[in-house]
Chain A
Amino acid sequence: MSEKRTGVFVCHCGNNIAATVDVKKVAETMAQEGTVAFSKDYVYMCSDPGQSSVIEAIKEHRLDSVVVSCCSPNLHEGTFRENAERAGISGFTCEIANIREQCAWVHKDRTEATEKAIKISRSAIRRVAGNKKLDPIAVPVTRRAMVIGGGIAGIQAALDMANAGLDVVLVEKLATIGGHILQLSETFPTLDCSQCILSPKMVEVSRHPKIKLLTYSEVKEVSGSVGNFEVKILKKPTFVDAETCKLCDDCAQVCPQVVSNEHDLGLTARRAIHIPFAQAIPASYTLDEEACLGLNPIRCGKCKDVCEAGAINYDMRPETITENVGAIVVATGFDLYPQEKILEYGAGNVADVLDGLQFERLCSASGPTQGHVKRPSDRTEPKEVVFIQCVGSRDPAQHCAYCSKICCMYTAKHARLYKHHVPDGKAYVFYIDIRSGGKNYEEFVQRAMEEDETVYLRGRVSKLHRTKDGKVRVMGVDTLTGQNVEIDADMVVLALAMQPSQGTADAARTLKIGRDKDGFLAEAHPKLKPVESVTGGIYLAGCAQGPKDIPETVSQASAAASKVLALLSKPTLSHAPTIATVRNSHCTGCEMCVTACPYDAIHLENGKAVVNEVLCEGCGSCSATCLRAAISVRNTSPMQVHEMIEACLSL
């Protein structure tokens, strides 16, 4: 409140700063500033004696604020702010003037560098003159978590958290949890059956007292912020009471409506009322409203007539469920890059050209062919199969720029599975190069080549088409020999790129979390915060964040779970107090700030803007938008900037 008494501490950083900047002169010049009560230079401000000397000066000269002219605030802002707190003044009244990275290290001329250091320091003094003592904002947290997406990632995260004692809500868009793994036959690198690894986990989820499972549900709205989200979920009606359903299949038997079965990627059909697959969790039939002849008014009603258990209820309506949670894990997974987009390989119109997941279904014991590899066109056993890698991947010009990471592995797996099913068949793999980093992965690929005699051809397939005799002619080039290669295959399997699922895009929009250039969810930091989203309290797991295989997915899911557990381990969270504040007298309620705020942190109450302290990240977009100077970020007020501009232009 009273006059500022700022202390300025100019660091030599050994010779790092002092070699180019006349630190003595900086300290002396700063002493002339109106608000400066004390100024000195010292060889290493961040050293113990350096820090103690700041504390001493604060006490001796009754300083209320501190400027340390030293290295980047990224390095020691925290150090000096804590130090200031130790001396009994608010950490927020300590500012760093970066005269090393932004000055001493990038300039040679001593005079120029010194002048610039003076301006930078003076600017910091002006900034600190306007700084308020602030206390971090404490926010009570809701100690529950939500997981969106019930693939392996979501299941793992939910189980980890629930097992640690946290209440978890698991939201899955489809009628069953499980995700893509359930479509796989066997999995690399061990070739164990995917159902065998996943089913126990699915059952555990369904039985877990701490997990509330919401299938056939989608998140529609999220408000609040880290620690306290309010999530509105739309649960679609299944028209079948899961508790009562006996899984007798009577209903499906009478249902006249046949549609393609998405679980088998269109290789089989199902009825309007159906169960996605036998082990679905929740274990119940689902009436697909879109496929049904009509419920309102009821057009057919056959299923209900036959259901002895009386599980079918046409009056079920969509339900909006509101859940309060403290953190959210997004595990919305991937889709395959659409085959339609691969024009050079027939855009999905050439018979017996399959995508990887379809091939998985063909190999799967529970698949359309009960595990016998047969061509969809004529149900014959293919004797020559061509596997093409990197379809849609690593092609910045036309498709995805990124490497889909797992295709080398699953193609090797496919080749091997094929050979195990059709020992006299011939498998060719077109590849660009083989990426088999991972425990036992390289060995797995070697086995495909050696044990299972897969022919690996290095090169691109330029095109393919169907021949008159029902083969698929694959034309490519072997870049190792330089020879053109033409194979008349019985079947072609494309290792299509993984792309973020449609559900991932939807979730990103609802949750307002960033996505990267490829549409995968953006992590807060590519190296140091790989499972955090940029929004506090929202975490990422699985293929929604980037292509990965099961072990990696599971590790990431567990990592996300542990982040949530750490976050929610305390009853309150602390939030930076450098957030926007509104001057009611000046606000006219124009809502420009409301629209501008990237975090939806502002709303209007009685015609005045009100900032949600927790949501606001202090970006200042509102303040630059408001015409009436009615909103500004604490400790970065326009007044401070105004003075800093002046300081930058002094001399």
Chain B
Amino acid sequence: MSHSHAHANTYLPKLAKIVHIKEEIGGERAIKTYRLEFENGDGFDHEVGQCAMLSIFGRGESMISIASSPLTKEYKQFSIMRVGRVTKAFHELQVGDVVGIRGPYGNQFPLSAWKGKNLVVIGGGVGLAPVWPIVTTAVAKRADYKDITVFYGARSSKDIMYREDLERIRGQATVHLSVDRAEEGWKEFVGFVPANVLAKKPDPKNTVAIVCGPPIMIKFVIQNLQQLGFTDEQIYTTIENKMKCGVGKCGRCNVGKDYVCVNGPVYSWAQLKDLPQEY
């Protein structure tokens, strides 16, 4: 995997304007979705699964998955959880503010290799964002894929991100939502995502399953998928490590021989099993 940045200064962000902000989830660890448009016609294309380093000057940089489909060229979308210095600063921005962006970084989901297959996309919490472009891209190229199933779970119905988008794609994909605890008016599954997966029993035949979410969720989803007959090669996930440079030099995301920012963040379970469990 190599980029052709031979002469560009990869550390120098491009500028992008926030054109839209949507508050997905409130609370202490709020999530907001931002649409960024490149300034000065200076931008880049990306692939499904890649991320970008977003900057707030004076505060620092954060690696964030690009949550929009590569087919969408006008803007790039990011869903950011407010957890620390940079992300908190992001949550204080408004439409019209300009931030820094560099990338794209990382590998991609082999979406074209999955043509003709069933896709099972499983997300939890903010972990829906990195896998969301799989859903939107596959839905846009609906004919290329067979069944598209989305599992998504959150703590409560208030914590469900992309709520409208999930409803909108229901026609083209099967959507299984879940909340952790029973609540009034909730008609769908109650319980954790792994349980929902086990209950709905997606068929492993000619299927790839993509999982993203909190580590503990990933662990149990994978166990359950294996129980349903998925092989390690059929299961994909993405991992997060601390990143600074994005180009495999600063050493933070180094796990075994891999630099997650270059060789990851997308891994099949077969590949990931071979890496040290340092993520």
Identify the A interface with B (CB < 8 A): 2-3
In B64-98, the 8 Å CB interface with A consists of: 91-92
Q: How far is the CB of A642 from chain B (nearest CB, A)?
A: 14
What are 3 A-B pairs with beta-carbon distances under 8 A?
A2-B91, A2-B92, A3-B92
| Chain A residues whose C-beta falls within 8 Å of the C-beta of B92 in the assembled complex | 2-3
Identify the B interface with A (CB < 8 A): 91-92
Instruction: For the complex of A and B, list the 3 residue pairs with the smallest distance between their C-beta atoms, beginning with the closest.
Output: A3-B92, A2-B92, A2-B91
Q: How far is the CB of A172 from chain B (nearest CB, A)?
A: 57
Assembly CA distance A543 to B92 (angstroms)? 60
Assembly CA distance A556 to B164 (angstroms)? 73
Assembly CA distance A3 to B56 (angstroms)? 14
* CB nearest to B94 among chain A residues: A3
| Chain B residues whose C-beta falls within 8 Å of the C-beta of A2 in the assembled complex | 91-92
Q: How far is the CB of A178 from chain B (nearest CB, A)?
A: 64
Q: How far is the CB of B59 from chain A (nearest CB, A)?
A: 11
| Chain B residues whose C-beta falls within 8 Å of the C-beta of A3 in the assembled complex | 92
Interface of A is mostly: loop
* CB nearest to A3 among chain B residues: B92
Q: How far is the CB of A139 from chain B (nearest CB, A)?
A: 29
Assembly CA distance A3 to B92 (angstroms)? 5
Q: How far is the CB of B50 from chain A (nearest CB, A)?
A: 30
Q: How far is the CB of A531 from chain B (nearest CB, A)?
A: 48
Q: How far is the CB of B92 from chain A (nearest CB, A)?
A: 4
Q: How far is the CB of A30 from chain B (nearest CB, A)?
A: 19
Q: How far is the CB of A155 from chain B (nearest CB, A)?
A: 58
Q: How far is the CB of B46 from chain A (nearest CB, A)?
A: 29
Assembly CA distance A2 to B27 (angstroms)? 11
Q: How far is the CB of A65 from chain B (nearest CB, A)?
A: 14
* CB nearest to B93 among chain A residues: A3
| Chain A residues whose C-beta falls within 8 Å of the C-beta of B91 in the assembled complex | 2
Q: How far is the CB of B83 from chain A (nearest CB, A)?
A: 14
Assembly CA distance A487 to B92 (angstroms)? 90
Q: How far is the CB of A258 from chain B (nearest CB, A)?
A: 78
Q: How far is the CB of A279 from chain B (nearest CB, A)?
A: 70
Assembly CA distance A246 to B92 (angstroms)? 82
Q: How far is the CB of B129 from chain A (nearest CB, A)?
A: 21
Assembly CA distance A2 to B91 (angstroms)? 7
Q: How far is the CB of A571 from chain B (nearest CB, A)?
A: 35
* CB nearest to B58 among chain A residues: A34
Q: How far is the CB of B145 from chain A (nearest CB, A)?
A: 41
Assembly CA distance A448 to B91 (angstroms)? 85
Assembly CA distance A323 to B92 (angstroms)? 53
Q: How far is the CB of A126 from chain B (nearest CB, A)?
A: 14
Q: How far is the CB of B51 from chain A (nearest CB, A)?
A: 25
Assembly CA distance A2 to B92 (angstroms)? 6
* CB nearest to B27 among chain A residues: A1
Q: How far is the CB of A520 from chain B (nearest CB, A)?
A: 53
Assembly CA distance A553 to B88 (angstroms)? 61
Q: How far is the CB of A294 from chain B (nearest CB, A)?
A: 71
Assembly CA distance A233 to B159 (angstroms)? 58
* CB nearest to A2 among chain B residues: B92
